[in-house]
Structure 1
Amino acid sequence: MFELIFCSLLTVLPDYLLRRRFQGKRWGVEIDFFTVWYELRWGITMCAMLTTMLITIVFYYHPSTSNVASFFRTLTILSEGGGRVEEVYVEINEEVKAGDPIFKLDSSSQEAAAETARRQIEEVNAALQVVEAERGTANAIVAQAQAAYQQTLEDFQRQVALRDRGSTAVSERDVTVLQNELAVRQGEVDAAKAGLDALQVQIDVQLPAQLASAEAALAQAETEISKLTVYAGVDGTIEQLTLRRGDIVNPILRPAGILVPSDAGRNRFQAGFSQVSAQVVKKGGVAEIMCASKPFTVIPMVITEVQDVIASGQIRPSDRLADVQVQSAPGTILAFLEPIYPGQTDDIPPGSNCLANAYTYNHDLLDDPSLGFGQWLFMHVVDTVGVVHAAGLRIRSLLLPLQTLVFTGH
């Protein structure tokens, strides 16, 4: 409409004034609704051509879109395992900090496993004390066996010495008996040392291994107990949490609720522009948005990123070949917008639907001395006609509440 009115002022109106003032033709006499096309045909034709050209320039170099939203990621509140709810610590719409508990599942079986592991640790520690006491007894038995062996050895050496001197008080049989007894004493010493070594192995290897296993079982049980309490991973707001004591939570079928992070979708908007604008929408460009959740306000934005792929072209392997013909709809160029001035979008709720205009800005290029006159003039025209789109966005922001509340009744 703006383009048509503007072009009419440059073509149809001068044509009409020429015929009215200089040719003396009057509206309603020589010029009426039946002769208007013939009389103003040059102005109407030029107006249509100029309007078409102007609209093309405006919409190409200053693209607009109604596909604008502040998408945000929510976190599903889930436990690592299923179970029955024992206690709920928060309510719906309650703000939580990272690390705050949300709810706890019944931990009776895990508590029993932890208590069993603690008893096993106590049993191993008690067994260790018993073995320490037995080691003292074994040391005494070794000392006793060594003393008996030493006594038998001295008797044997004395009898051998008397025999070698030819004493008649010692017979060969006595020497043989002492020799056999000495071997028995040596066996007793070896058996006592073996028993002591066995006790030492229990102290150094077996019981520490049993203790480590019991401690590992306790640590596992305590870990399982800690997993039964679900904590907030980030700062945010609890939504859709209707848990009550006794409810069943399943990580696959029955999630507990949703956590909306505090910074989710804040001060960052995603706009989908037509593919024909791919060469115009660039990182660092200037844009404006108007959101339904904040009417009567146009917010200046800057394009911080432009996605280098189009989402509609995404495929994933399946048992069927992809056919371009069955593609549902052409995708858009996704641009990420952030406010130029901090704080202007703080009160816009994440998920809001908005309108956006992106503008081609040639001010820096116009200062280039090597720029030709034709290019200089065309860039001036492009920058100037951006006012048309800017005015249109502001008018839509004024009419949006009226259109929404009065004409649609929403």
Structure 2
Amino acid sequence: MATRSVQSTDDAAVYSDISAVSARVSGTVETISVEDYARVKAGDPIFTIDRKPYEVALRGAKARLAAVNAQLGDNDTQHTFQLTQIDVAVAQQQAAAAEEVEAEKELQRQTRLGIDGRVSTVQSFEKATAAHERALANLDVARANVAAQRVKLDVLARQRDILKANLDTAASDLAARELELGYTNVRAPVDGIVARRNAQVGNYVAAGTPLISIVPLPKIYILANYKENQLSMVHEGQSVDISIDLLPGTAFHGTVSKISPATGSTFALLPADNATGNFTKVAQRLTVRIELDSDQPNFDRLRPGMSVTTRIATKGEDHV
């Protein structure tokens, strides 16, 4: 038949995932809204950092964004004007081209008159030649002007690309400044009880410095360290009886939820080196996490750090 056994240890305590609340921005603590051991709800205001430097930074970010938007508006105006300038330059080029055609026709006419022996003075021929050369020069100038106006349009397009990038940067900076201003109001991340305050009004604190600890009661659990030779028959889901030093004679009930994947010595700052030749076998310990049933008497009296004794009910090997 199967025999029932119990594995117990007093190397165990109550734990909770305590939240160390810190400011996400640096500054002077302006107000503290909670006292030690006060119960808070997630989202409740806890303390505030002086807002004034961050309000100034926000105004500066808004001004920079407005300036870039104004520059983009100017660029749009210049772009529209430049399109008009290109149209004018193209029209001038077309007029210069027409004048060049007429001047060339007149030069050709004067040339034919001279060849045919008709009346054509040297002065008329030279005048037609000069007019054609002027027309060619004017056409070259008009073409160059069209090219120059189009280059200006390209420059404006590149400037617009830069301004758009500056706009994205300014918008991101504004969003960051708004976040920082919001971070001056620090709120409770979880329901629980304020365990300790590490700052007072008027203290200057750096971002990331833990200022208030919140114990998320009643979310507690037990960590029990069992010797490795006690765990051969222990597995998740097994029933656990728990006694608390604070409440002698009071029994609590829980369930094995997890077993550590490595022994405690594995995580030591200086792990043992057994390759030196001096070896003494020591039973290693593995941590077992035990979840407590919350609907039991005196559960609300449990606090992280309390010493406990745990007894895991296991089944032994079958015996005939």
TM-score (norm 2): 0.75
1:215 to 168, 171, 195: 171
* Native 8 Å contact 1:71 1:270 kept in 2: yes
Deviation at 1:258, TM superposition (A): 0.7
Q: Distance in 2 between matches of 1:196 and 1:274?
A: 80
Q: Distance in 2 between matches of 1:192 and 1:302?
A: 81
Q: Identity rate of aligned residues, in percent?
A: 21
Q: Does 1:201 align with 2:155?
A: no
Residues 213-254 of structure 1 show CA distances to partners (whole Å, capped at 9, x for unaligned) of 2112222322333344333322222222264432222457x6
Q: Does 1:126 align with 2:81?
A: no
Deviation at 1:260, TM superposition (A): 0.7
**CA 1:361–1:340 in structure 2 vs 1: closer, same or farther (change >3 Å)?**
farther
Deviation at 1:116, TM superposition (A): 1.9
Q: Does 1:88 align with 2:88?
A: no
> What residue identity is the alignment partner of 2:138?
E
Q: Distance in 2 between matches of 1:155 and 1:314?
A: 92
Q: Distance in 2 between matches of 1:302 and 1:185?
A: 91
* Native 8 Å contact 1:293 1:348 kept in 2: no
Deviation at 1:206, TM superposition (A): 2.4
Q: Distance in 2 between matches of 1:132 and 1:290?
A: 77
More strand by share: 2
> What residue identity is the alignment partner of 1:248?
Y
1:103 to 34, 41, 47: 47
* Native 8 Å contact 1:286 1:361 kept in 2: no
Give the superposed CA RMSD. Answer: 3.7
Q: Distance in 2 between matches of 1:359 and 1:161?
A: 116
Residues 349-399 of structure 1 show CA distances to partners (whole Å, capped at 9, x for unaligned) of 12333344455657x96xxxxx63xxxxxxxxxxxxxxxxxxxxxxxxxxx
TM-score (norm 1): 0.60
> What residue identity is the alignment partner of 2:242?
I
Q: Distance in 2 between matches of 1:82 and 1:172?
A: 81
Matches within 5 A, 1:60-99: 61-62=5-6, 64-99=8-43
> What residue identity is the alignment partner of 1:343?
Q
* Native 8 Å contact 1:294 1:348 kept in 2: no
Residues 278-328 of structure 1 show CA distances to partners (whole Å, capped at 9, x for unaligned) of 45666555553332443443345554555465435654458x95679799x
1:353 to 307, 310, 315: 307
Deviates more, 1:334-343 or 1:182-191: 334-343
Matches within 5 A, 1:374-393: none
Deviation at 1:179, TM superposition (A): 1.6
Matches within 5 A, 1:227-246: 227-241=183-197, 243-246=199-202
Matches within 5 A, 1:119-158: 119-158=63-102
> What residue identity is the alignment partner of 1:218?
L
Partner of 2:117: none
Q: Distance in 2 between matches of 1:280 and 1:155?
A: 107
* Rg larger in structure: 1
Q: Distance in 1 between matches of 2:159 and 2:39?
A: 55
Deviation at 1:164, TM superposition (A): 1.4
> Secondary structure at 2:213's aligned position in 1?
strand
More helix by share: 1
Deviation at 1:208, TM superposition (A): 1.2
Structure 2 runs not aligned, ≥5 long:
114-119
